[in-house]
Structure 1
Amino acid sequence: MMTRPAPHSPDILLDAQDQSDGTTLRNDGGHRTRNRRAVPAVIAERALNAGALTAKDRASLESYHQHRLKLTRKGFKELLEFNAIRIWPDDEGEGALVGDLQSSAEIYYHAASRIKPDTATLHELLRLRRIYRLVTDGDVKPPLNVMKAAQRHLPNDPSVHDFSRILCGKKLAALLAREHKKEHGGSHRLQVSHRDASLSSLLCTLPEDLQSYLEARGFGKIREVSPALIAQLKACSNETVRGLGVIYLDRIMRQALSRRLYHKMLVLKQFASAASKYHLPSSQGIDDFAWGYCIEGTIYPQDPMSRRTNVGHFILESHVFLEQEIRHAEPKWRDMLRRYLLPLPRMPDEFARRIRKAQRKQIADGRQERKDRVEPLIDNLPALRFIAGSRTAELQHDERCCAAAIREAEKLDVSGAVEVSFRYQAPIFDADGRRLPGLQWRHWTLRNTNRCLEMRMMQDPDGEKAKRLPGNRLHEERYNTEWWLFFDRCEAIDGAETREPWAKELVDSCILYSGRGLRPEIVTGQLAFAKANDLDEDIVVRLPPGVGWFEIDQRKRAGWIIEDLGLRPFPVIELTYGMQIANAGTRVMTGSGARTHEFIQLMKDPSRLFRIESLPGDEERYIFLAIPKALEDPVPFVLGRDDLKAVMEVAKAASRRWHKGGPIPETDPPAQTGHKCGRGRYLINCGSRPLSPSEINPLIQLLFSGHHELEAYDLRHTFASYAEGVGIPIEVIGAWLNQKSLDITRYYARASREARNQWLMQLHTVVSLDELKNFDAVKSDARKAEALEQVGALTSVPGGTCVSLGECPARFSCIGCRLNAADPDKRVEVEESLKSAIALRDTWDKRGRVKAAQEQERSIERHHAMLREMEAIERYRELRDEAVEPCLETRVSKGDLR
């Protein structure tokens, strides 16, 4: 029986048709093998007879020599691309002929012999370094000509240790690095000495306004700085990079001494070294540098990837940091600081992903880090669950009615354009999810689109569907009909109030979420058409990232058109299923404290999901087992009846959607917990796989859009805060959350912003009442008299008189300013301003601008505080002006009698 050699064996068997061409076979113990030297000889003889080497014979030779020289297939192909080797003598180039080589190391020596010491470029040396890595396993000493060529380039970048070691050997590389560090202070591309490297000399190289700003902040008085870093900043020819580096240096010197502090200094030095030659303040300049250096590697290709990642992090973090500095700086410094604000590179979210940025930042609008944002945003946990269920129920009602209309429309003739209008009665909900009295008509329109799904090249020029394209190419178009849903209007029934469906707000939120607050052109790019064929025709519409929780074929069916085209189709079926998942996740995570990766482990298995028996009062409670990331064994989580009902509704919807009403089949586990959970019938799925935690988070964000700005992980904080508020011991909460440290549990259970504001207002009320007892009217009058004496004139402002002696510290937000001496005679001005603030808050609430609405809430609180101060002043004046008859008592002591 003939056996083929192993894949790694150099004994290459030719086809049966070639075995009669002089190839010798021998039988050794029943195993039929080929003489190793016969393969190149047979191919050479055949090539001489044919006058050329065929592609098949070339592939055989490549495979033969690859195994003989013990090279990988990828490395062998790369050597061919580098022109380091040749397969056949007639091949172009000066590479080594593989048939003459005895070992792979000879490839390196042959390539090194072609290096000219006086004219070799850095690119040639880097290519030689790559060849060295492909063909050798140890430290091979390079020839003398390579060492001379390397020394000519090493002063520019001696710190790339693998580069210098490979080209010059370990000992010579270490010697060159030490000499260069002595001379240049260890900086990579620095060619000046750091003998005069001091902070005072660095300040002299900066503009005068920046010098004044840094001196006012006490620059250089906190901690010493490495002379190499100072020398690098001084040698930087780019004034913007130098100024930004010094501002950033001032910030990190104010932090506590740590290893991270030195790492930041190193990254700053790397950034100043790499970006000194680029005009970064312009968008084109930052794009060329950020993408060329950090992503594509075309700028300084010898730099390691870790350095590129550090510089990419610095570009994003410096933008956020300097925006914060500008907001907190005095007005006279802001224009100066804006000169050093670098623009973000194009597509900053994608850029952050490409440099593997671990921590998710809202880099576009300079939001705070997640540790500052993660806190319970609501104390009323039942209200949070109520609005999630209410919104999901409204969306389910719309989905059932629209799906019935789509089924009826599919029975029509769709060979041409079809437009179907329909309406149905719908309940009315307010912004908080509460049902309002009455009903309304909702009018929708269905339009069919015969979209080209694919274009195939045709071989038959006489085909019926053949069409000619530029270049006289033929193709066949294949179409498919899709129904797109458009919302028209609402119509009142019996004078009831009308409200647009929440699905319309949801679609708007999807588009806003896809951009995450980025510039409009970036949002347009994320919602643009996708190229799906070789003809560059727009045939598939892409969904925004974060909303595509359904599979590829469903994305085509639920196509979206960007807002610029004036069309807004509603993928109502997909949105409803996604919001059902978000509602179930909200109930499970707020009821049990589970994480997202624990929530997706819900499966239909009696050993993993079961009911607790014999509870008092016949209450229904269920247990599901999930494995946290840090553990190997499952832990129990408790569900209520309504929580499990929401989960089973998701399972039923998935069964109807992907499995034709049948049971959910077994699928592979989620990637995050695959080695722990195993296969199973996962309830939170999208057909052929369970959902991932990264797909749960955007759904929950969309479910609460316009009402609460929270993420999936915030639900655990809300659960812990609510449990602590009702009196549950912190140790029990920590056990529920599977947390080892109680300090972390206390951080989770800290009071929400709403609770803090409520207690703060109560505290101010108590302080105001206590202050009323000893209120001295001379306080307000004394402040006015002092300001009048120093300034000469006072400014009348809303609600009182400004006693500021210089610039306005509140940026002319006089209501609530500590320098505004309240005057009860100006109460009308404050009340009118309060009405405007309330109206503006309601406007932002309707538009879903959560942060703007929160800012107006704080303004309203300042108005109320000023009105309470006016009331205190009025009550004091009443007590002061009240006529009081003195009651005198004469007491005579015995010692005073005469």
Structure 2
Amino acid sequence: MTVLTDKPESPFYEQLSGIVDEQILHLQDARGIFLLDKAHERYMRYYLRNVAEKPWNNHLLLSALVYVDKNADVRTIDELLQQVNVRLVDLFKIFHLSNMAEFNVETHMYQYLKGSYYQEHSDSMRSKLLALYRSLTYSTRKWVTSKLNSDQQSYFEQYLLPMPSYDSRDFSFTKSAKDLAKDTRKNETDVIVPLLPQIRAEGHFRWNQINRLRQTFLKACEQAKTTSMDLPLEFHYDEPERVGERFYFRLWDKSSFVLNHHDQFSASSLTSAYKRTGAYSEGNNRYFVEFVKAERLDDDEKAEGLWFTEIFEKGLIGRWNEFVDVTDDLIQQKRELLYSWGYGKNDFTENSFPFFSKHKGILTPSTFVSRNKHLAEGILFDVEPLYAAVTFGLLAVDIFTTTGARINELLQISNTRECIRKVKVEDKLKFSFYAIPKGRDEVEPFYISEQTMKLIQLVAKFLKEHYGTDKIPSVIYRGNRSHLFPEPKPYFFQYHESSFNHFAVGACLRFLLHGLNFESQEGKPVVIKTHLLRHAFATEAVQRQNLPIDIVAKILHQRDIEVTGYYSEPTPSQVAQSVSDLHDVISDYVDLDEAVLRSGEELVNELEEYKQKVGVFNNVLGGACTTNFVCPTKMQCLGCQAKVPQPEKKHELEEVIELSKDMEKRFTEMNLPVEVKKAKAMRKHARNELKEIELIEKYREEQKYEPHIQFKK
């Protein structure tokens, strides 16, 4: 072999040197970049902890680096390593193996897959192992034979996992596992598809509610600072008519809370709180609220209050098993409650943390509030972490349900000219964002509406307030395939000087949509997941809107149309509910002036290019088109997935309804039953879009509502 004179810069190199074969550590891609330098810390840390000392360490690292060269997602590589490693541990244990030379895939793995051992393992676990193992083995062997010279091939042959002679067709579990997974996915999708407009609308209503709370909280803080009122400061305000409730709060700071619960704190803490020194000094002081109660304004029904109070009452925010007051019995109760919401396992043996963002300042309260929340009569929480969660969650829901984007594509959105692209057509700005889809190396466009763009601006405004700057700071990308994004960028999904990962996005989604009570036809709870929204988007587009699969594949940025077909298979009960944008409206996008100032020649060239395509910049009946592909519905815009209903065009849909009635009457007289059905369908689509517009109008109107805060003297 060639003498190695250079070495990778990865921090994992020194840790692996002497443990793993040096030739594997020095593998390079076609451009001469060490594959180890492109490997993500997420699965490399797992490898160091769990694989590096195993007999198959060289085999799995070689395979992992092959997948790195294939631009596989971080989660894909992570799953491959974990699943294959765990099962190899099981096999070596049950068959008393000590090295790879003893491992016989035709005997040991075959017996496991036949169910001779580990009977408690499900069909799904066995099916997944076989699929992942065969994929890993085939891909690694193919890469070695196609990318390396004959000498290298001979050398690395020792680290190739043996390919089994059998495949999934040889086992009964394969079909049952696939059918179960498929049925589960479609049943969950079936629940979500008809509710996409309501999900987006509810997201807006809840953001409005938290925004009202935040505004009154800031007013209460200002009142406490500028008057001589002692804390706690009690205040209340009325929610808008749709909610019909009055919310009561107390405003605290750290010192006032300690002094009002003096029997729960040490003498030194009481002294510091009284003198406002140390942890209780002005510089370390923090305001937070206690939600006391909610009451109905116009009837005697039970008040619902804030939608998230149950999460706090049950102590399920953050990593709840680390709280000092958590006993074994309480842990079991929390597991059972979370399972009833769709989280965790039904044997209640594992802890689930659905509202733990793993990101500073998102959902999780301050240390002081976390430690002392049990001392309050009501529900104690910090306002800003919740406002941050719903703000990011609202944008995520919007993009997932209107573009079908993956989470990794969402996290790439940045406040840069290369990402956010705009063109001015007929005095209106049109938008798209560019991201690198799964398995690609180059950016591709994702077309969005003006309303989505304004939601992005909402996040931009919030980030500027958070950082106290005129620009969004640049941070390191922390999502999958981070090697493609080595330079810091002003990503929109960031907070406290750190970009988001998928944990933070998922926690924001779950918090924003908690309590909507989605259930399958079997009565099982359905949890909103980012990929489930992608499935719902595809299913709605193909089954409800009749978009051709090849068009949907382009929208989803999928190369394999068969995969798109799998995503978009009809649910058990497809419903006639069109999907459209339900977006927030706010003022002035941060960089709109940049779009206006672009060179005339550049703008003209783009405009001419886009005018050759149907959609994107065209106004249509009842809204605006957002597709950049050949018209999928042959200009039948009513009910089209690619159209954004717009309230200002409400009258057009009302006229369509009246027109369809006349058409139905005339076609009935002419004995044209097919045309009668078309007229009825036209009216149905128009009414569906009017319902969506009504939701838009409701949350837009509610955004203007300013609660009148009342302080208790």
TM-score, normalised by the number of residues in structure 1: 0.37
RCO higher in 1 or 2 (8 Å CA, sep ≥ 6)? 2
Q: Which of the two has higher C-alpha Rg?
A: 1
